[in-house]
Amino acid sequence: MREQGSGTRRPGAALLALVLALAALVGCSTAGPPADPALREVRALLDRHAEALLDRDETAWLAAVAPSYRAEARTEFRRLAAVPLAGWSYRVTGVDRTGEGRLTARVERGHRVEGYDPGPSAAGRLVDLTERDGRWYVTGERPAEGAPVRLWEQGEVTAVRGARSLVLGVGQDRKRLAEIARLADRAVPAVDAVWSPGWARRVLVLVPASLDDMGGLLAVDGAQYRGIAAVTTGETGRRPDAPADRVIVNPEAYGMLGDFGRELILTHETVHVATRAHTSPSTPVWLSEGFADWVAYRGAGRTPAQAAPELRRAVRAGDAPAALPEDADFGFGGDGEALARAYESGWLACAMIADRWGEDRLTAFYREVGAHPGREGAVENALHKVLETTPERFTAEWRTYLRAQLG
Give the residue numbers spanning the domain of 361.
280-407
Residues 293, 340, single domain; the answer is yes
Residues 159, 186, single domain; the answer is yes
User: Is residue 65 classed as helix, strand or coil in its secondary structure?
Assistant: strand
Residues 51, 137, single domain; the answer is yes
Residues 299, 386, single domain; the answer is yes
Q: Give residue 79's pLDDT.
A: 98
pLDDT band (50, 70, 90) for residue 13: very low
pLDDT tens digits, 244-293: 999 999 999 999 999 999 999 999 999 999 999 999 999 999 999 999 99
**Does 351 map to a domain?**
yes
Average pLDDT, the chain: 91
**Does 31 map to a domain?**
no
Q: Tell me the helix, strand and coil percentages in the chain, rounded to 5.
A: 55, 20, 30
**Does 130 map to a domain?**
yes
Assign residue 246 the CATH number of its domain: 3.30.2010.30
pLDDT at 19 over 60: no
- Give CB contacts under 8 A, 24+ apart, made by 193-200: 193/298, 194/295, 194/298, 194/359, 194/363, 195/271, 195/274, 195/275, 195/295, 195/363, 198/277, 198/278, 199/273, 199/274, 199/275, 199/276, 199/277, 200/116, 200/244, 200/273
pLDDT tens digits, 348-367: 999 999 999 999 999 999 99
Residues 103, 184, single domain; the answer is no
Least confident of 43-57, 102-116, 230-244, 294-308: 230-244
Q: Look at residues 220, 243, 278 and tell me which one is the last residue of a structural domain.
A: 278
Residues 140, 158, single domain; the answer is no
Assign residue 133 the CATH number of its domain: 3.10.450.50
Number of domains composing the chain:
3
Residues 45, 133, single domain; the answer is yes
**Does 171 map to a domain?**
yes
Q: Give residue 174's pLDDT.
A: 97
Residues 306, 391, single domain; the answer is yes
Q: Give residue 32's pLDDT.
A: 52
Residues 83, 174, single domain; the answer is no
pTM of the model: 0.89
Q: Give residue 235's pLDDT.
A: 78
Interatomic CA distance for residues 104 and 38, integer angstroms:
11
Alpha helices of 141-241 — where are they, by DSSP H? 174-192, 211-218
**Does 116 map to a domain?**
yes
- 404 C-beta neighbours (distance < 10 Å), count: 11
Residues 334, 237, single domain; the answer is no
pLDDT tens digits, 214-237: 999 999 999 999 999 999 998 777
Residues 271, 338, single domain; the answer is no
Interatomic CA distance for residues 253 and 230, integer angstroms:
8
**Does 17 map to a domain?**
no
**Does 80 map to a domain?**
yes
**Does 313 map to a domain?**
yes
| Average pLDDT for 68-90 | 98
Which residues does 147 contact at the CB level (< 8 Å), separation at least 6? 123, 124, 125, 219
pLDDT tens digits, 101-148: 999 999 999 999 999 999 999 999 999 999 999 999 999 999 999 999
Q: Look at residues 127, 147, 167 and tell me which one is the last residue of a structural domain.
A: 147
pLDDT at 3 over 70: no
pLDDT at 5 over 80: no
Residues 263, 220, single domain; the answer is yes
Terminal alpha carbon distance of the chain: 87
